[in-house]
Structure 1
Amino acid sequence: MSDDQHLTGAMTFIFEAGVLKRAARTGWWFAGVKHPESIAEHSFRTALIGMMLAAMEGADPARVSMMCVLHDTQETRVTDIPHIAKHYLTAAPNTAVTADQVAACPPAVAEVITAAVAEYEAGETREAVVARDADKLECLVQAVEYRHQGVDNVQRWIDSSCAALQTRSAQRLADAALSGQPLAWLQTPSRTT
């Protein structure tokens, strides 16, 4: 494959990833959220949480953030399958979807992305464990925010997210989220005056 073809392949993946900005996280519809967050919005905050958890747990923040950014990119092709639907549907493994998505990218790009997704899916390294906790913690935080907005059918997301957390830091942040106020930061005095 020529350099121009590889560049076209990379740009194709970038365009495809842009679809995640418009694709809703479908599980929230069951809770009664009319306009749920997008997959890209979820992935952004997952990466931020992952970076913070990595620092707290002694893991590599850059590696964790990369896995968090990539952990749902496959949903451009298989959609965000709700948990209940997974009892009835079988989707291709995320590693296979990712391999197809980046097949036309420059080899170095494809290797970096497929290795990060494979590491996340295996869940065996410290960084993968932290990235998976970031995903669950972001879901919990989103549920807390929806609850504060008046959506009262989110407890199952809170419970399942809490139950899935593996690191002590994620558990402690979950406790803080559950007792916190999503808009408390608005009362912080400005120091720029």
Structure 2
Amino acid sequence: MADETERLTGFLYEIGLLKRYKRTGWLVAGVNNPESIADHSLRAAVIASVLAALEGADPARAALLSLFHDTQETRLTDIPYLAKPYVTKASNEQVTNRQTHGLPRPVADMITDVVGEYEGKCSAEAACARALERRTVPWTDGNPLGPRGGAMIAGAYFRPVA
């Protein structure tokens, strides 16, 4: 039990690193002060839950999938879209299996199930969670859309408010 508690503490610390890692696509695009991966995951969870409610899916499940969808980036970092074809990396499921090894079984099972569902694209909730990837636009200082504090557009549901 002590080993599981130690591993769980380490995992929770590792997830906290997502607050420090910036989204590299925005850095490459020259966006000043880009959002962190944690910022992105929180906003993605809120938007996925709204999309799920509109689509008749489970908003809580869609939010959960979004919260865990980039947890692997604690180990892989946020690889820019243009670099991905040139980089061989472990699958998100493989990274998640390593991250959850030694955690209390209910926690490990929950996380691997959530990541598997997201990566497998096998549910309406996964579709809502995945709808945001590569379809978001940052609105920050220096962006042609103007200073909007990191607000996003995602698909047809989201438009700027006056």
TM-score under structure 2 normalisation? Answer: 0.88
In structure 2, the CA distance between the partners of 1:136 and 1:65, relative to structure 1 (3 Å rule), is: farther
2:94 aligns with 96
1:171 aligns with 155
Measured in 2, the distance between the counterparts of 1:89 and 1:134 equals: 23
1:152 aligns with 144
**1:84 partner SS:** coil
Q: Is the 1:95–1:114 Cα contact (8 Å) retained in structure 2?
A: yes
Report the alpha carbon displacement of residue 152 of structure 1 after superposing the two structures with TM: 3.4
Partner residue of 1:24 out of 22, 25, 28: 22
In structure 1, stretches of 5+ residues that fail to align are 154-160, 163-169, 185-193
Measured in 2, the distance between the counterparts of 1:11 and 1:151 equals: 39
2:114 aligns with 116
- 1:42-81 equivalence runs, <5 A: 42-81=40-79
**1:172 partner SS:** coil
- Once the two structures are overlaid, the 10-residue window that deviates more, 63-72 or 25-34, is 25-34
Q: Is the 2:32–2:142 Cα contact (8 Å) retained in structure 1?
A: no
- 1:121-132 equivalence runs, <5 A: 121-132=119-130
In structure 2, the CA distance between the partners of 1:171 and 1:29, relative to structure 1 (3 Å rule), is: closer
Q: Is the 1:31–1:151 Cα contact (8 Å) retained in structure 2?
A: no
Q: Is the 1:67–1:116 Cα contact (8 Å) retained in structure 2?
A: yes
Instruction: Give the aligned CA root-mean-square deviation in angstroms.
Output: 2.0
Total equivalences in the alignment: 156
In structure 2, the CA distance between the partners of 1:79 and 1:18, relative to structure 1 (3 Å rule), is: same
**2:78 partner SS:** coil
**1:18 partner SS:** helix
In structure 2, stretches of 5+ residues that fail to align are 146-151
Q: Deviations over 1:46-103 (max 9, x none)?
A: 0111111111111111111111000000001011000111111011000000110011
Report the alpha carbon displacement of residue 136 of structure 1 after superposing the two structures with TM: 4.5
Runs of 4+ in 1 over 6 A off after TM superposition: none
1:165 aligns with none
Structure index of larger Rg: 1
